Structure 1
Amino acid sequence: MRGVNADSHSAAGPPAMPSLRGRLAVPVSVLGAVVGAFAYVGAVDPNQPGHYPVCPLYRLTGLYCPGCGGLRSAHAFIHGDFLAALRDNAMGVLAYAGFAVVWTVWVMRAVRGRPVRIELRPAQMWSLGVLLLVFTVVRNLPLGGWLHP
């Protein structure tokens, strides 16, 4: 082998860890996108007609999906009206809090150079699905009127 050093094929040890800036690039970018989306919804009021499309499920059936009222909830949340945010979409508010927790764990692990592995077990996934299904069914029943957006 011409021009190849015999030592070049030996193991050089573990791969170098990316810099802190490199490890934080993706979580910071995701946060930037979320902040941008919330800023837009905070500036363009979803309570005013014509700014956002109507939920297709609601338009076709009159039923509220788990996301119905989510934009109004985000708008109220941005403006500090947390009770209105909960009234418009309680699951949305839980999702905002869940995102904040997961994002914080992601950043802390990235700072420490540890991989982020969020692995939901089947029971956890089923539980989340059942929670969303129950929320959707209850908000469409007469007794769940307080969950309507």
Structure 2
Amino acid sequence: MTSPVSPGPAPGPPVPLVRRLAAPLGTITAVAAAFAYVGTVDPHEPGHYPVCPLLSLSGLFCPGCGGLRSAYSFIHGDLPAALGANAVAVVGYLVFAVVWTVWLIHAVRDRPVKFALRPVWWWSIGTVVLLFTVIRNLPFGSVLAP
């Protein structure tokens, strides 16, 4: 005697486009607002933003040091200055743009989006960020310091 195989739950009604786009559009709105604020409030002028706690306590640059100056320069179209302030942040902006675009396309097409990186990728990203942090704090790596 064989048991019938259940096909699983029946698919529900399609999700309206407005609802599918809510998360990606909400995310880009928040990011755009943050970039707009940084673009109008110059981080090169002291007193506008808090000082990095690691830098103020130890004198060492963390991986995020220079990130606001990088964003400010990036917004104003000065890519060399943005890379000079924090190259990892600029790469992060570009990765975010690609991931967000893929997310938006999947939402429009009503397809689930799944971003899964194997552990080797996470370890590689962590290693690059760690090396960036160490090198920017050494005398020969001053070109990476903000």
**TM-score computed with the length of structure 1 as normaliser:** 0.91
Q: Percent identity?
A: 59
* Structure number with bigger Rg: 1
Separation in 1 of the partners of 2:125 and 2:82? 21
Measured at CA, do residues 48 and 14 of structure 1 come closer, stay the same or move farther in structure 2, by a change above 3 Å?
A: same
Residue in structure 2 matched with residue 120 of structure 1 by the alignment = 117
Equivalent position amino acid for 1:66 in 2? P
Q: Please say if 1:74 is aligned against 2:43.
A: no
Separation in 2 of the partners of 1:77 and 1:51? 18
Residue in structure 1 matched with residue 48 of structure 2 by the alignment = 51
Q: Runs of 4+ in structure 1 displaced over 3 angstroms?
A: none
**TM-score computed with the length of structure 2 as normaliser:** 0.93
Separation in 2 of the partners of 1:126 and 1:85? 26
Aligned ranges for residues 124-139 of structure 1 at < 5 Å?
124-139=121-136
SS of the aligned residue for 1:119 comes to: coil
Q: 2:137 aligns with which of 137, 140, 144?
A: 140
State the Cα distance separating 1:55 from its structure 2 match.
0.4
Separation in 1 of the partners of 2:9 and 2:48? 57
Equivalent position amino acid for 2:72 in 1? H
Q: Please say if 1:87 is aligned against 2:84.
A: yes
SS of the aligned residue for 2:12 comes to: coil
RMSD: 1.2
Greater CA deviation, 71-80 or 16-25?
16-25
Residue in structure 2 matched with residue 42 of structure 1 by the alignment = 39
State the Cα distance separating 1:13 from its structure 2 match.
2.9
Q: What's the CA shift string for 1:48-91, capped at 9, x where partnerless?
A: 00000010000011110000000000000111111000000000
Equivalent position amino acid for 1:75 in 2? Y
